[in-house]
Structure 1
Amino acid sequence: MVTGQAVQLDSRSAWQRMRHWAFAHAVDDFYQGLVPASIPFFVLERDYSYVAASGLALAATLGSSLPQPILGVIADRWRMLWLAPAGLAVAGIGAGLAGLAPSYPLVWLLLLLSGIGIAAFHPAAGRDARRAAGDSATAMSLFAAGGSVGFFLAPAVATPALVSLGVGATALFIPPAVLMGFVLWRFQQRQSRNPVAAKHSGGRDRWVPFLVLTAVAVVRSVISGGIATFLALYWINHLGASQALGGAALTVFFVGGVAGTLTGGRLADRLGVLRTIQIGSVAAIPALVALRATPDPWLGLLAAAAVGVAMNIPFAVLVKLGQDYLPNRPGTAAGVTLGLAVSAGGAFVPILGILADHSGPQAVLTALCFVPLAAVALGLLLADPSAE
């Protein structure tokens, strides 16, 4: 049984401790980014409506969110070193085969399977990554940033292939998942034979502040899911940009997310986790307004980057703070903050799809400008993790 939160006694640099987990997280979350990157091509090639397109995002969301609580409990009770590598491989296989599926129901089921693979990866990976990071928010930001890198690589790498070969090009991205899953499994085997000395710090699990933090993460996820799903369509259908420039806008948003994640880790080590979360929540408001107000698709790329930065400043901090609130359940905390809460926001995407069908994707961006207010209010209710 795995209990308590491990704090590494390790003199290596943060990158040396976290590089395997950062790379694995990047590959895993590439397939989360591949779904919104491919959705415009499903719409354009197969004449799916906005609601149907939102349903594809919902399929991936359901798969990656609903199993998370159970998988988090399992990760806290048993090591199951194969869970994260197997989940990574399944995530890539499901998302890769979706573009080849001939019917909407089969596409939907494959994206659901991909989401389940992502759900299997996060709790175990988050548990072991925190053990490697110790109490460093900067180190945890490297792990979290790996996921953000995967997100932005998806549209950057996939869009040219999808433009040239069509939506079936998603199958080209199956091999990296299988290969990285094997590499991670071998790494886990080596770690089990050569464990690094660790000190377990127990403590009282604080469920009330953890639930407030989860709500903050869900609000952030609603915004991120809405931007990831409709930003390229907004560029193409409202600003009159090309498909390639629409994919570039999504890429810029994810690149800003990487910068925001790394910035948030450093801010948290200097200013504290609560203040960092509050800074990110407040900064998201003017960034979203600037994105919606821009009349030019090229100028709008700057606003897209600013939204990515602001939205992701709290990302790694939310993961670390969740594990601080639940020191005896690091897998559960990681599963919720990295998986359930992040994915739960996707459940609201079909609602945004209905709004887009009636008033266009520009209406979605207008509505999202008001959502950060909820994160600002909830952030004021978060408890100091050092105060019992």
Structure 2
Amino acid sequence: MKSVSTRKRVALLSAGHACVDVYQGSVTALVPFFVAERHYTYAAASGIVLAASLLSSVAQPMFGALTDRWALPWLLPVSTLLAGVGIALSGLSGDYGLTLVFVAIAGLGVAAYHPESARVARKASKGSHTAMSWFSVGGNIGFASAPLLVAAVVGVGGLRLTPFLLVPALAGSALCLPVLRTLAKTSPGASSAVAKTEAADDKVSFAKMTVAVLCRSVVFVGLSTFISFYVRQRTGWGMAAGTAALFVFYLGGAVGTVLGGSLAARWDRVTAVRWSYLMTVGAVAGVVFVPGPAVFLFVALTSAGVYIPFSLQVTLGQDYLPTRVGTASGVTLGLTVSVGGLASPVLGAIADATSLQTALTPLIAMPAFAWLMFRNLPEPALPKPVAPLQAVDG
């Protein structure tokens, strides 16, 4: 049974994770408003997602490598503020280039946050899959809140009100501070050392899982970018239907993440992830081809299917690379979202040349590839720490 202080730390980290991931969700939530107010094409709109993703994709493994050498807890509040500032400024200039720069700054903040936060959360949770799933749920809630927050702010006063979107960053930075103070008091030397383990790295299994992570990312970001437009087309219900679909897609992630932790406790992580990807194949097909209001059901099923693996892949990656937890976290937690942004302009170009349905159809194959990667993966044994993790568990 975890101590009360440990539960509080995980809860604070989860809330902070929600505040950061508001800004990942905000990029795609802002896309329809950029299209409506600035008349961007699908390709230009998806370029905004690419700008946020490209820098994040490059920077995230670098931050992961840094946190493998040194603990950098100060990155949590600083990166949260950086992500918020980028989104807050994104609506103030009608210049497309400046908009790309601002969303790229937000992507850099997100990139800096995830590896270190995952390392700290792993220590705070003592390796518990269920506790890590709750940490991940914080991010899911942030994603789910983003379209509602953006609609409430930008939908009322236009893109000129994006500075009000800085509020979650201020809250998230404040939430980090009690945890960081506790870390400093319980282990003053923790900032210069990362605990080592007896286990060896399984690079082959990690590489296979990374392919699955990338496939999931393409599905997740592709649907995040275009689901609002597509549902509006399929239902004919206007902007509200698109916002509702994006909300369902993100909110279903919270359910899927918690369910993933429960399924892993009942079976194992690899089995839970494998079956979730198999289910997702049919769910994405339903989103693409089922007409009318029933599309919302398949949006919810797809959300659950892509989120069940979310926190499980984080702990799997950390256990496949027990000597490089930061790098594993940077790939499995951060790149889960950011790499998919690289495919968004391709989908946007296809949609401009043909139709959204044609552009989204290839996404059906992505969870099938992910299932293939997990088909023969082993369930790793939990590594035994050589040094006590006093920095968080004390």
354, 358, 363: which one aligns with 1:363: 358
Q: Note if contact 1:81-1:189 (Cα within 8 Å) is conserved in structure 2.
A: no
My pick for the range that moved more, 322-331 or 374-383, is: 374-383
255, 259, 266: which one aligns with 2:255: 259
Whether 1:99 aligns to 2:91 is yes
Structure 1: how far apart are the matches of 2:286 and 2:104? 34
Higher helix share: 2
Q: What pairs up with 1:131-142 in 2 under 5 angstroms?
A: 131-142=123-134
**What does residue 6 of structure 1 align with?**
none
**What does residue 213 of structure 1 align with?**
209
19, 29, 36: which one aligns with 1:37: 29
Q: What pairs up with 1:1-388 in 2 under 5 angstroms?
A: 10-12=2-4, 15-195=7-187, 201-296=197-292, 298-386=293-381
Q: Note if contact 1:226-1:364 (Cα within 8 Å) is conserved in structure 2.
A: no
**What is the number of equivalent residue pairs in this alignment?**
379
Q: What percentage of residue pairs aligned between the two structures are identical? A: 38
Is there any run of 5+ residues in structure 2 with no aligned partner, and where? 384-394
Distance apart, 1:122 and its partner CA = 0.5
1:22 counterpart letter in structure 2? S
Q: Note if contact 1:31-1:92 (Cα within 8 Å) is conserved in structure 2.
A: yes
2:120 counterpart letter in structure 1? D
My pick for the range that moved more, 222-231 or 191-200, is: 191-200
Q: Note if contact 1:15-1:142 (Cα within 8 Å) is conserved in structure 2.
A: no
**What does residue 386 of structure 2 align with?**
none
Cα separation, partners in 2 of 1:15 and 1:299, compared to 1, 3 Å: farther
**What does residue 5 of structure 1 align with?**
none
- TM superposition score normalised by structure 2: 0.91
My pick for the range that moved more, 75-84 or 348-357, is: 75-84
**What does residue 3 of structure 1 align with?**
none
Cα separation, partners in 2 of 1:315 and 1:208, compared to 1, 3 Å: same
Q: Note if contact 2:196-2:323 (Cα within 8 Å) is conserved in structure 1.
A: no
Distance apart, 1:283 and its partner CA = 0.8
Structure 2: how far apart are the matches of 1:199 and 1:87? 23
Q: Note if contact 1:122-1:335 (Cα within 8 Å) is conserved in structure 2.
A: yes
1:44 counterpart letter in structure 2? A
Q: Note if contact 2:19-2:171 (Cα within 8 Å) is conserved in structure 1.
A: no
Distance apart, 1:161 and its partner CA = 2.5
Cα separation, partners in 2 of 1:11 and 1:185, compared to 1, 3 Å: closer
Structure 1: how far apart are the matches of 2:201 and 2:177? 30
Distance apart, 1:17 and its partner CA = 4.3
Secondary structure of 1:34's counterpart equals: helix
Secondary structure of 2:205's counterpart equals: helix
My pick for the range that moved more, 354-363 or 45-54, is: 354-363
Is there any run of 5+ residues in structure 1 with no aligned partner, and where? 1-8
Distance apart, 1:208 and its partner CA = 1.4
Q: Note if contact 2:68-2:326 (Cα within 8 Å) is conserved in structure 1.
A: yes
Secondary structure of 1:301's counterpart equals: helix
Deviation digits for residues 74-103 of structure 1 (CA, Å, limit 9, x no counterpart) = 112112221121111100110111011220
Distance apart, 1:285 and its partner CA = 1.1
Q: Note if contact 2:19-2:172 (Cα within 8 Å) is conserved in structure 1.
A: yes
Deviation digits for residues 113-161 of structure 1 (CA, Å, limit 9, x no counterpart) = 1000001101110100001112311111011111111001001221232
Q: Note if contact 2:88-2:164 (Cα within 8 Å) is conserved in structure 1.
A: yes
Q: Note if contact 1:64-1:343 (Cα within 8 Å) is conserved in structure 2.
A: yes
Structure 1: how far apart are the matches of 2:198 and 2:63? 21
Secondary structure of 2:235's counterpart equals: coil
Structure 2: how far apart are the matches of 1:275 and 1:13? 32
Cα separation, partners in 2 of 1:199 and 1:226, compared to 1, 3 Å: closer
